[in-house]
Every structure is written in structure tokens, then in C-alpha cells.
Chain A
Amino acid sequence: MKGLRIKKSIEVFFVILIIMGLCISAVVLMDAGKKAYGRIIDNNSQLENSRIALSYLGMRLRQNNSEGVVYYMQNGIDNADTIKLKHSGDFEGMVTYIYYADGELREIFTWAGTEPDPEFGESIVSLEGLDIDYGDGYFKFTAYYIEDGTRKSLEQIIGIVGN
């Protein structure tokens, strides 16, 4: 009878030990999974943001790709390299400035001739960094993002008619 009790106690002890081990490993696994998934989501979000920025810049330039519409301003708004788009038609007399400041791609839509106030810049997307280079008949955009702590970049070239 006594031997049977001892046997049962050992069995219960092992069951509790296994369940405890399972619980601990489940918690560790969930925590690791949470961290890994969070990192993947963060990387993905940064990469997508840089793609959104390049896609937006490409779209704006292609929509306005005609003589005397697109201008490049070195050290323009907020001392950042800026693209200036002159509008026509219903928006004659208006201009759009696109630039990068305070970790964001921004744009200001304002009257031509007025000094654009950087405070009124509307945020398009958050970015780690953006370089705007103007070459002979083309713009080269470099959008930066962070992947697992490393700074990486995506480049886009857009040819333009003139400025």
C-alpha cells in the first residue's frame, strides 16, 4: 500500500514537472515569436515606406513631366533638396514643393511667389532618409530604411523633359 502511494507521488511529480516545462517553453517561444514577428513587421513597414516614397515621387514627376514644370532647388525648403512643380489649368498660379525634413517626406501646396513655410508641410510618409539628386535630364532618388539595425537604400531614376 505504501509502495503504491510512493509510485503515485512520483507519477504526479513528473506530470507537474512536464507541464511546468511545457509552460515555460511556451512562454519563451511566444516571447521569441513576438520579438521576431515585431522585427519582421518593423522591417517590412520601413521597406514599404521607402517604396511608397519612391512611388509617390515617381508618380508626381511623371504626372508633371513637361517643359517648364519641374524644377530642382538645391538647399530649398528647410535647407533640404526640394522639387518644385508649377501647376497649370485649374491650379494655374499654384506650386507644390516636395522635400524631406524631420524624418518625413513632405509637400507644400501654395501660391507661386509666396515664401513656403516649412511648418505647413504636409506629411506624405515617414522615412529614415531621402537623397534627391539631379543629373542631366533625370532625378535620382535614394530612399533609406533600416533592416535589422543596418541602414539600406533603394534607388529610383526618373527621366524628365526639362526644368
Chain B
Amino acid sequence: MIKRMNAGANTNKGFTLVEVIISIGFLCIACGIIIQLFIASGEVRSKTALKETAALKAANAIEACKLTDSPADIGRGIFNASSTDYEKTESGYIIREYFGEDWAAPVEGDSPVYVVKMEIIETQKAPDTVGKFGHGDDGEMIISGLYEINVTAGYIDTGREDRVLAEFSTAQHYVYRENGE
């Protein structure tokens, strides 16, 4: 027995090149998986940051809407007019504010990447809450209206499934004066 053990201890046998290559291969696969995890965590982080910024932009738009005296004033004053467009719809307005890379103001010549879209919809039609219910002393009409304001912030590219990054809604009541019919 002792003779056999001694014979085993004195054996000069190590790993073969094939065994070493195989173990290195396994090690490389394990490293690859770990690197993939790091990359995935970085992507999640940047997506989260993008969504948080979109939420902040949408919240700013809602906050700006609350500061206005009439629906026609929404989007004016605080936002950069050169990067904003207005669209009149049957029930209200659609306002779009455009942004460049990283939600910064768009650089001239570069195509905008992100958009904050504000949809202002006249919701209540009851005569006591909405409509032309009187005239001021100067003949201007006094309008009262309840409006629904939907704000979305996301990519301009309409083909993207994850186009909308943040979405908020609020209701706003306006009483304001308007010239003529």
C-alpha cells in the first residue's frame, strides 16, 4: 500500500494542453456572462435615466399648463417658441415641444429626437361650466371651460414600440375673455 502511494506521489503527470485550453474556455464563458450582466445593468441605468428625464419634462409641461389663464396661453411663455408647434383640433389644441439629444434644446441643423406633446381637450359641455355664458363690460365674451390636459414625453419616431417614456394627465378650469365670435 505504502509502496503504491509513494509511486503515486512520485508520478510526474500534470495537466495536458487540451485540459488547460478547455478550462480556459470555461473561464472565458464565465467572464463573458459577467460582462454581459454589466452591460445589461448599464443599459437599464440609461433607460431609467431617460424615463426619469422624460417624466420631469412632462411634469414641467403640466406645471406650466397650470400657470396659464386661458387654454390659448398653454405652451407660451415658459417654453422656447422656436422649438414648439401648435395644432388646432376640433376639441382643443395639440402643442409639441421638441428636444435634441439628451433632452437638450435642439441644435440648429440637427433633427430633434424627443418630443413633449400636450393635448388640450375641452371636456365639459354643460352650459353652467362651459361655453359662452356672458359678455364683459367691453363686449368681450366670457368663456368658461373645463379642459383635460394629457401630456406625453417620448421619442419622435412613431415606429418605436417604446415611443412614450412618460405620460401625465390633469384637468384645468379656465374662465377667460375672448374677442367676438
**Chain A interface (Cβ < 8 Å from any Cβ of B):** 11, 14-15, 18-19, 22, 26, 29, 33, 36-37, 40, 44, 47, 51, 54, 135-138, 140, 152-159
Residues in chain B near residue A153, CB distance under 8 A: 104
Q: Whole-angstrom distance from the CB of B65 to the nearest CB of chain A?
A: 9
Contact across chains for B60 and A33 when beta carbons are under 8 A apart:
no
The answer to whether B20 and A19 have CB atoms under 8 Å apart is yes
B67 interface neighbour in A37, A40, A47, A159, Cβ under 8 Å:
A159
Residues of B within 8 A of A138 (CB): 63-64, 67, 78
Given contacts A29-B31, A138-B78, A140-B78, contact A44 B63 (CB under 8 A): no
The answer, among B17, B27, B77, for a CB contact under 8 Å with A22, is: B27
> Taking the nearest CB of chain B, how far is it from the CB of A142, in angstroms?
11
Q: Would B31 and A154 count as touching, CB distance under 8 A?
A: no
Selecting from B45-53, B87-95, B141-149, B158-166, the interface stretch reads B45-53
A15-B20, A37-B38 known; A51 vs B52 contact (CB < 8 Å):
yes
Apart from A40-B45, A154-B56, A157-B78, 11 more pairs, CB < 8 Å: A11-B16, A15-B15, A26-B31, A33-B38, A37-B38, A40-B42, A135-B77, A136-B77, A152-B102, A156-B60, A159-B66
Is residue B5 contacting chain A, with contact meaning CB distance below 8 A? no
Chain A hits for B49, CB < 8 A = 47
| CA gap between A119 and B130 in the complex, in Å | 55
B21 interface hit (Cβ, 8 Å): yes
Q: Is the interface of A mostly helix, strand, loop or mixed?
A: helix
Instruction: Report B's interface with A, CB cutoff 8 A.
Output: 15-17, 20-21, 24, 27, 31, 35, 38, 42, 45, 49, 52-53, 56, 59-60, 63-64, 66-67, 77-78, 102, 104
**Chain B residues, Cβ within 8 Å of A156:** 56, 59-60
> In the complex, which residue of chain B has the Cβ closest to the Cβ of A11?
B17
Query: What residues of chain A lie closer than 8 Å to B35, measured between beta carbons?
Result: 33
A138 to B77 alpha-carbon distance, docked (Å): 11
A54 cross-chain contacts in B, Cβ below 8 A:
56
Contacts A/B (CB < 8 Å), 6 sampled: A40-B42, A138-B67, A140-B78, A152-B104, A156-B60, A157-B60
Are B21 and A155 interface neighbours, CB within 8 A?
no
| B67 proximity list for chain A (CB < 8 A) | 136-138, 159
Among residues of A, the one whose C-beta sits closest to the C-beta of B59 is A156
Contact A15 B38 (CB under 8 A): no
- Indicate which residue in A18, A36, A155, A158 contacts B24 across the interface (CB closer than 8 Å): A18
Query: Known contacts A19-B20, A138-B78; is A158 also within 8 Å of B63 by CB?
Result: yes
A10 to chain B, nearest CB (A): 10
Say yes or no: A154 contacts B53, CB within 8 Å: yes
Q: With a CB–CB cut-off of 8 A, which chain A residues contact B42?
A: 40
Residues on A with C-beta less than 8 A from B64 are 138, 157, 159
Residues of chain A within 8 A of B66, CB atoms compared:
159
Residue in A44, A136, A154, A155 whose CB lies within 8 Å of B45: A44
> Chain B residues near A29 (CB, 8 Å)?
31
In the complex, A129→B35 CA distance in Å? Answer: 34
Q: How far is the CA of A158 from the CA of B63 in the complex (A)?
A: 6
Q: How far, in Å, is B95 (CB) from chain A's closest CB?
A: 15
